[in-house]
Amino acid sequence: MHRSIITGSGSYIPELIVKNSDFLNNTFYSEEGALLDSPTDEIITKFSKITGIRERRYSASSVPASQMAAMAAEEAILNSKIDRESIDQLIVAHNFGDICGTSGRTDLVPSLASRVKKILGITNPSCIPYDLIFGCPGWLQGIIQADAFFKAGMAKKALVIGAETLSRVVDQHDRDGMIFSDGAGACTLEYNKPEHGRTGILSAKVRSDCGEETTFIRINGTYKPSSGHEQRYIKMKGRKVYEYALRHVPLAMKDCLDAAGIAIDELKAIFIHQANEKMDEAIVKSFYALYGVTEVPHHVMPMTIQWLGNSSVATIPTLFDLVSRGKMTGFQLNRGDVVIFASVGAGMNINAICYGCN
């Protein structure tokens, strides 16, 4: 029996570090356009306590998402030692395309995947590049999609990348804008007969709610009234997102783990979208509670949000790359370890994958 197996990973972490203190000169407004009456340092302190974010990374203005994606992909290809010309599917998950400088204008033609294929020097016409827009769960959805192509007999190797430059679509007058960051992560995926019985993708679960939920994360103008410009930014109803995620993500994770036939005490790690430290902790606690477990195992949830922020589709593949290559102290994956990937984001969309490490 063949399964989809991750054979290599890579990531690109921008060099520019932006600390919370770098926002001290910002003026923040509410969604209704009212000036927030708390001092800026208090707003930032409260923000840090809720999200866990102390700093984040921004890419240089000369580096678009497609270039970051290609750099992460190059690492994954080298790490996997596969022939790049043998890749059948090249999937790039993102939400805003290549954003030109500070203009906020997006460039989506040709697709980012086509640009990445060119940068990587892949000439095989049977390597099909395409983009996937699915909110923050986009990279995971790309993995699910590649797995489906494998099972349909239409591909044997895939390169799945998540890349985003959210720093270019944040409103400096919106305190939630401090959450977002830039980055890219990638992995190579191959369809092989596993050496270990529990290696590869064991199960997957996807959920989408597109009623009122479509307003929870959206694009809109600045919160500053009478700003005099029409640039649009990413906007989020934090409380709504939190409530939605806490209500639905733990159940999706449980459905996924149960479908794989894995007991909760066999789970080695949870790679969850790095959205908000408190929210992620609440989701994982609720997930374990569904099994009657009141104490979440120590070190089950590696996190990068404290120093990398929320880079959307790039958070999970970057986190997985750092852990799988031994770059995060206290976390190590071994052959046969079972992990869960889980994400939630604009749509609202949720997905989860149960995976056995090779």
Phi, psi dihedrals of residue 210, rounded to the nearest 5° = -125, 40
pLDDT at 101: 65
Looking at residue 227, its pLDDT comes to 63
Q: Kindly report the CATH number assigned to the domain that includes residue 112.
A: 3.40.47.10
Task: Output the pLDDT for position 323.
Answer: 97
What percentage of the chain's residues is helix, strand, coil (to nearest 5)?
A: 35, 25, 40
112 and 243 in a common domain: no
Its domain, for residue 32, covers 3-192
Structural domain tally of the chain? 2
Q: Give the residue among 172, 166, 227 at the shortest CA–CA distance from 40.
A: 172
Rounded Cα–Cα distance for residues 349 and 249 (Å): 10
Considering 162, 192, 222, which residue would you say is the last residue of a domain? 192
Give the model's pLDDT for residue 343. Answer: 98
- Check whether residue 97 and residue 218 sit in a common domain: no
Strand partners, 92: 131, 161
Boundary of a domain, candidates 192, 223, 249: 192
Residues 184 and 215 in one domain: no
pLDDT of residue 231: 84
Of 141, 168, 192, the residue that ends a domain is 192
Same-domain pairing of 81 and 188: yes
Question: Which of 351, 352, 340 is CA-nearest to residue 266?
Answer: 340
**Do 255 and 116 fall within a single domain?**
no
pLDDT at 226: 76
pLDDT along the chain (358 residues), means of 10: 96 97 95 92 95 96 95 98 98 94 79 98 98 98 98 97 96 95 98 87 98 95 79 92 97 98 97 96 98 94 97 98 93 94 97 96
Whether residue 266 contacts residue 336, with contact meaning beta carbons closer than 8 Å, is answered with: no
